[in-house]
Structure 1
Amino acid sequence: MMSFFDEKPAHLTLADGLQLAYHRSSGALPGVVFLGGFTSDMTGIKACALERWCRKRNRAFLRFDYSGHGASGGKFAEGTIGRWSQDVLAVLDRLTEGPQILVGSSMGAWLMLLTALARPDRIAGLLGLACAVDFTEYLLWERLDETLRERLHRERVIRLPSPYGEPYIIAWDLIEEAKQHRLLDQPKLPITCPVRLIHGMNDTDVPWRISLQVAERLTGSDVRLILLKDGEHTLSREQDLVVLTHTLQDLLEGC
């Protein structure tokens, strides 16, 4: 018997002709939209676990691939934070209706904050996992030595080893364009919806204090930071998923 995870994705055609692949299930509102991380796709453990959880509860759910990711069109090396942020807005505007809770993982948590700033009336809550706000600076640029920086500037695109499998593709345009979307440079982030941030204290990619800095800047009062002392960056262990779904349930009950 075919599982819903075996279904082929639908596609949303953007104004420039590029297509974004997505899976959507109907149900009660607020709906849940999952935003994946840098180089990740919508077939990951957290995305599929959340879809299964939402389907069991008849909760509307959507997962998708950014341009240049997974089953979507486009070239990864041409992606930027601004471009992927526009992908999220297109999906939110055209594939969902009513209030939504955004669940953002790593880079997806940066994009969920940008989305909440752009569409405050559509967002019922935010749930960030290993929030990688401004990661292009401290996770990419600052980890390059002078030789690699010069090579990146010259070649525009370089590939670096990744502990998660395929090499990281780092583009000069990604680093430069991201400066327009930095959030930690701002003293306040005018986001007032409920926000939950989950971060592992054993995260060797994105320090848990990044989530703390985000929490401090949010203007809303309903903000909670949940630290998992033994949690790592992916937050995909069974015990991590339990914390994730319990936290999502808490958000939904408050809507």
Structure 2
Amino acid sequence: MSTTQFIDTPQGRRIAYHKSGDTGPTVVFLGGLKSDMQGTKAIFLEEWCQARGQSFLRFDYSGHGESSGTFEEGCIGDWHQDTLAAVDALTTGPLIVVGSSMGGWQALLLARAIPERIAGMVTIAAAPDFTEDGYWANFTDDQKKALETVGHVELPSDCMEPYIITKKMIEDGRNQLVLRSTLALNCPVRFLQGTADTAVSTTTAVQLLEHVQGDNIRLTLVKGADHRFSDDACLKLIGRSLKCIIDEG
């Protein structure tokens, strides 16, 4: 495995990354909330790309993994800035973006920001607008009051310490929403979603499919797959979806 390298963003954050391969288009992996670039899907995609000689980039948002800052300092907009900085500094030419969970939202934001560079997209349990439609919409009155008085709330997690959701994250999220206005994806797109996902529902996946505009957009539902979407069958499906998009290009 390659050594972690770093870049500094225009905002002064230090972003850790791994870059490999030299055959375009570059595959960029965008991880989920509180995930890092050492996860199963990121490493699978790196190995998949290396076997083809395909250019590949994985990185940690600020407040995640080996990058600078703390999670509680960040928000969707900050991580979008990190994504733009990494793509701008470390890649050239067309991109195929693979976004997992919150990374799916980031992939959509990236496509909105630089549509001319997006040659394809694969999302895995994409979670667009979750700060508003998931967190805020389901907060109790006491939780909403805590955001104002304490500045954050704690939410339980099945697989790690509680999530600290800040007032900044909720308010910034409203500036990053992608399901409230027209969103055109003029490239091959594959949305992947497990039916046993307890974090992102199939309803969200269908809503995303119906909202985006484009001529080559498909949603695949995998019966019994959970939010991790990381068993052998799911990883192979990610690989097949990516190959399909590359071949179409």
TM-score (norm 2): 0.96
1:211 positional shift = 1.9
Contact map agreement 2:21 2:49 (CA 8 A) in 1? no
Match of 2:113 in 1: 118
* Alpha-carbon distance in structure 1 between the residues aligned to 2:142 and 2:12: 38
Moved more, 62-71 or 130-139: 130-139
Instruction: Give ranges in structure 2 of 5+ residues lacking alignment.
Output: none
Work out which of the residue numbers 195, 201, 205 in structure 2 matches 1:211. Answer: 205
Instruction: Give ranges in structure 1 of 5+ residues lacking alignment.
Output: none
* Alpha-carbon distance in structure 2 between the residues aligned to 1:117 and 1:138: 20
Contact map agreement 2:124 2:191 (CA 8 A) in 1? yes
Letter matched to residue 227 of structure 1: L
Contact map agreement 1:160 1:167 (CA 8 A) in 2? yes
Letter matched to residue 216 of structure 2: D
Match of 2:186 in 1: 192
Match of 1:74 in 2: 69
Match of 1:63 in 2: 58
The count of corresponding residues between Structure 1 and Structure 2 is 249
* Alpha-carbon distance in structure 2 between the residues aligned to 1:219 and 1:16: 32
* Alpha-carbon distance in structure 2 between the residues aligned to 1:223 and 1:98: 22
Q: How many percent identity over aligned positions?
A: 43
Per-residue displacement from partner, 1:207-237 (whole Å, max 9, x unpaired)?
Answer: 1221222221222110010000111111011
Letter matched to residue 129 of structure 1: I
Contact map agreement 1:139 1:206 (CA 8 A) in 2? no
Letter matched to residue 91 of structure 1: A
* Secondary structure of the structure 1 residue equivalent to 2:168: helix
* Alpha-carbon distance in structure 2 between the residues aligned to 1:223 and 1:16: 34
Letter matched to residue 54 of structure 2: R
* Alpha-carbon distance in structure 2 between the residues aligned to 1:217 and 1:160: 29
* Alpha-carbon distance in structure 2 between the residues aligned to 1:127 and 1:176: 27
Per-residue displacement from partner, 1:11-42 (whole Å, max 9, x unpaired)?
Answer: 01112332100000022111100000011100
Letter matched to residue 155 of structure 1: V
* Alpha-carbon distance in structure 2 between the residues aligned to 1:18 and 1:177: 18
Work out which of the residue numbers 150, 161, 168 in structure 1 matches 2:163. Answer: 168
Per-residue displacement from partner, 1:124-169 (whole Å, max 9, x unpaired)?
Answer: 0010100100111233223322212211221112322200212111
Letter matched to residue 151 of structure 1: A
Instruction: Say if 2:171 is the partner of 1:180.
Output: no
1:201 positional shift = 1.1
Work out which of the residue numbers 53, 66, 87 in structure 1 matches 2:82. Answer: 87
Match of 1:243 in 2: 237
C-alpha root-mean-square deviation of aligned residues, in Å?
1.2
Match of 1:220 in 2: 214
* Alpha-carbon distance in structure 1 between the residues aligned to 2:11 and 2:25: 30
* Alpha-carbon distance in structure 1 between the residues aligned to 2:12 and 2:135: 30
Match of 1:254 in 2: 248
TM-score (norm 1): 0.94
Q: Which runs of 4+ in 1 moved over 4 A?
A: none
Match of 2:42 in 1: 47
* Alpha-carbon distance in structure 1 between the residues aligned to 2:130 and 2:219: 19
Letter matched to residue 211 of structure 2: R
Instruction: Say if 2:15 is the partner of 1:20.
Output: yes
* Alpha-carbon distance in structure 1 between the residues aligned to 2:3 and 2:63: 18
Contact map agreement 1:192 1:218 (CA 8 A) in 2? no
* Alpha-carbon distance in structure 1 between the residues aligned to 2:15 and 2:125: 24
* Alpha-carbon distance in structure 2 between the residues aligned to 1:38 and 1:16: 20
Letter matched to residue 13 of structure 1: D
Instruction: Say if 2:235 is the partner of 1:234.
Output: no
Contact map agreement 1:34 1:47 (CA 8 A) in 2? yes
